[in-house]
Structure 1
Amino acid sequence: MNINPSKDRKAIRLQFTVEGARFSFSPLPGGKWDNKRDRQLVAAIATKIENDILAGNFDLSLERYRHKLSAAQNPLPEKASSRICWLELWDAWVASLDLPISTAADHYACVRAMIVKSENPPLDNIEWLQVSKLAASTFNRRLSMLRSCLLWAIDEGLAKANPLKKIRSRLTTEQERQLSDGKKTPFSDLEIQKILSHIDRFYPTYAPFVQFLLFSGVRTGEAVGLTWENVDLEKRLIFVKQSISRERGGYKKIQKNPKTRDSIRTLRMSDRVFALFGSIITENACGLIFKSPKGQIIDHGNFRTQCWKPTLSALGIPYRKPYATRHTLLSQALESGLSVPQVAQIAGHRDGKMILQHYGHVINQSQLPE
């Protein structure tokens, strides 16, 4: 089901049918069709409705889908004032970026949550950031975002000084570096066999999903969002067009396009992927290919805690996130002799830079002379 916003004389309207019932409403008060951000926001609400219908969680009252005006839409003082606090400034800056809803729900939402948890301190208060117990990489990313926010505020005349100049980036500790490297370690062939065997025995509903992750190298959200309409068994092709992920810090599922335009890609099935689809396809198959034990959209958190973690723990395999299945396939592809551009195409990267950066050790492995 695709729900597309339509132009109305006074608003942007959504029209769709659920189980024979016709719905038509305007989710954004005062939304203008000529305003790009308003159209994007309504389109994001339409996506949420589509996801809820798929998951069987559709709100018949429509209240869940009516947008409430946020602090970002309220005007800030025209000139810098000590009365402006972090939350108002952050919301205004994020609104100015005109971000896709899925991007705004990622690290931007996490920074906002930090500010709210700190009870919205004034701009000259940076202690809430200094005492945060974040890994170096996460801290540095959020510090960079906050610096950009303040530079924008100074340019707009909303702030006079940048108190973040006093904060330095954090250095990655050896423990963090080892932990990060360990999470990216590909699974060995023996580990893969053990994982597949264990999940097939104890978590059979998730077995095809895990097989596909290990055999295809797609992102977890791309596997979750894959539909039968995007698979051509006759030509043995997979069309990766969307990804479904969970909002950080919440339980909303966000449907979005893959990370880059080039990521909307076509993959040719290997024999084992073709055999996998052949074993699970049913007559008149449609909609999502992989579902939870309750027949709904796979929830990343539930899959990780109910199936993935227990499996690795039971097998004595050092924990890696489900994303490590992607590292495993891409490493195998390089080891098998595929070129960097070919592997980049499989991964959905614009070019081979990311492949060389993350998998150069695989490509450049030295071999002792005969």
Structure 2
Amino acid sequence: MGVTIRQKVKGKGQPWWVFIAHQGQRKSVRIGDKAAAEKVASALRERLKKGLLNLAEEKKAPPPSFQEASAKWLSYIEAMRKASTHERYDNAIKKHILPVFGEIRLDKITRGEIRDFLLEKFNEGLSKSSIGLLRDIVSGVFNFAIDEGLVKENPVTGITRRMQLKRERKEINPLAPDEIALVLETCKEIHPEHYPFFMLLARSGVRLGEALGLEWGDIDFNGRALWIRRSYRRGAYTTPKNTKARKVDMSDQLHAVLKAHMHQQKKAAMKTGKGELPALIFNRGGHVIEQNHIRRIFDRVLLKAGVRKVRIHDLRHSYASLLLSGGESVFYVKEQLGHSSINITVDRYGHWIPTEKKAGVNRLDETGTP
């Protein structure tokens, strides 16, 4: 009997809860940090001493609407998600979910309604990946509400599994070696200032945001390697996708192009009287280049070169597929790309790994015939 405080899940950043056990009744309330929880607990203990607290008589407020709960959930996860991910969640909630469930109380939303909502969105043409995203968002809001003690169960659990809507992966469309050569040659002709940038993408496989965030201090010319420590998107720098820095090997050609680019940048700095290199390797007047700007340049180069339309991210896929088809190990490619697991590399690029086809089974014959 009494009032205690503790974390349900121990660890830095995890919320503190106040637990009350009185007259056969039990109740827990999520507060926030430890200091706030101790303050609330102290006040409750004082009410218990004076006989002013009766849990049985206290009426529980009804669960909030989905709109109210989703707003709190977005605020809660903001510190744990990248800005781009948080923005994607927010847009999906406003565009797809709130028009259907926004004003409905959480305890009034049924499993069948959620299933019908996802099926309707699928029939409207949303991809399986988008359906999975909507499912994850709705489920996230309900799980948050469970932790808050607002509802007891999550009606989303297992829905897409029963609907057999597995997430689809975007088609990988790598360029062939002759196409890459033509793209780079054309870029050198019509946009020479961006030639080093596209050479980097084609010869290192780094992500677009990682390339835009590169600084001269990230280049190890003696070791012929570059370090990926940050990524840039929509005015914000973040960690790389798997949150870890990584070293990427440079080819001889990329090494020479970046060396020449550095000398050119030094000359430009001397002419302006600054004398120092700008921190960013690739910049416009010393400022970071926006992703949409570089995408437009890439589209112009493809059009001029007469090369089929691909995404700029397909340069990364081209890099990986060429390495694997050339016999490089899956582990090496995984490290270069910065995948968190080798399973991602195999799942995405496995069909570019060369095989000996019948040679493997034919080797069984060498073991002898009974």
The aligned residue for residue 276 of structure 1 is: 257
1:231 matched to 2:219 = yes
Of 288, 301, 317, which aligns to 2:292?
301
The aligned residue for residue 4 of structure 1 is: none
1:145 matched to 2:127 = no
Give unmatched runs, 5+ long, in structure 1.
1-34, 38-77, 247-252
| Helix, strand or coil at the partner of 1:118 | helix
Given residue 127 of structure 2, which amino acid in structure 1 is its aligned partner? A
Relative distance call for 1:104 and 1:356 in structure 2 (3 A) is closer
How far does residue 163 in structure 1 lie from its aligned partner after superposition? Answer: 6.1
How far does residue 94 in structure 1 lie from its aligned partner after superposition? Answer: 3.1
Of 186, 191, 201, which aligns to 2:179?
191
C-alpha distance in 1 between matches for 2:96 and 2:228: 36
Of 229, 232, 237, which aligns to 1:255?
237
Query: Does the Cα contact within 8 Å between 1:213 and 1:325 map onto a contact in 2?
Result: yes
Query: Does the Cα contact within 8 Å between 2:249 and 2:336 map onto a contact in 1?
Result: no
C-alpha distance in 2 between matches for 1:276 and 1:223: 15
Query: Deviations for 1:21-74, whole angstroms, at most 9, x for unmatched residues?
Result: xxxxxxxxxxxxxx959xxxxxxxxxxxxxxxxxxxxxxxxxxxxxxxxxxxxx
| Helix, strand or coil at the partner of 1:151 | helix
C-alpha distance in 1 between matches for 2:205 and 2:158: 42
Relative distance call for 1:226 and 1:364 in structure 2 (3 A) is same
How far does residue 237 in structure 1 lie from its aligned partner after superposition? Answer: 2.6
Aligned residues: 281
The aligned residue for residue 56 of structure 2 is: none
How far does residue 216 in structure 1 lie from its aligned partner after superposition? Answer: 0.6
Structure possessing the higher relative contact order (Cα contacts under 8 Å, 6 or more residues apart): 1
Percent identity of paired positions between Structure 1 and Structure 2: 25
TM-score, with normalisation over the residues of structure 2?
A: 0.65
How far does residue 161 in structure 1 lie from its aligned partner after superposition? Answer: 6.9
Bigger fraction of residues in helix = 2
| Helix, strand or coil at the partner of 1:143 | helix
The aligned residue for residue 290 of structure 1 is: 282
Give unmatched runs, 5+ long, in structure 2.
1-11, 15-58, 267-275, 360-370
C-alpha distance in 1 between matches for 2:312 and 2:211: 11
C-alpha distance in 2 between matches for 1:160 and 1:113: 25
How far does residue 258 in structure 1 lie from its aligned partner after superposition? Answer: 0.9
Given residue 92 of structure 1, which amino acid in structure 2 is its aligned partner? K
The aligned residue for residue 46 of structure 2 is: none
The aligned residue for residue 321 of structure 2 is: 331
Given residue 148 of structure 2, which amino acid in structure 1 is its aligned partner? E
Query: Does the Cα contact within 8 Å between 2:230 and 2:237 map onto a contact in 1?
Result: yes
Q: Which has the larger radius of gyration?
A: 2
| Helix, strand or coil at the partner of 2:170 | helix
The aligned residue for residue 7 of structure 1 is: none
C-alpha distance in 1 between matches for 2:87 and 2:356: 39
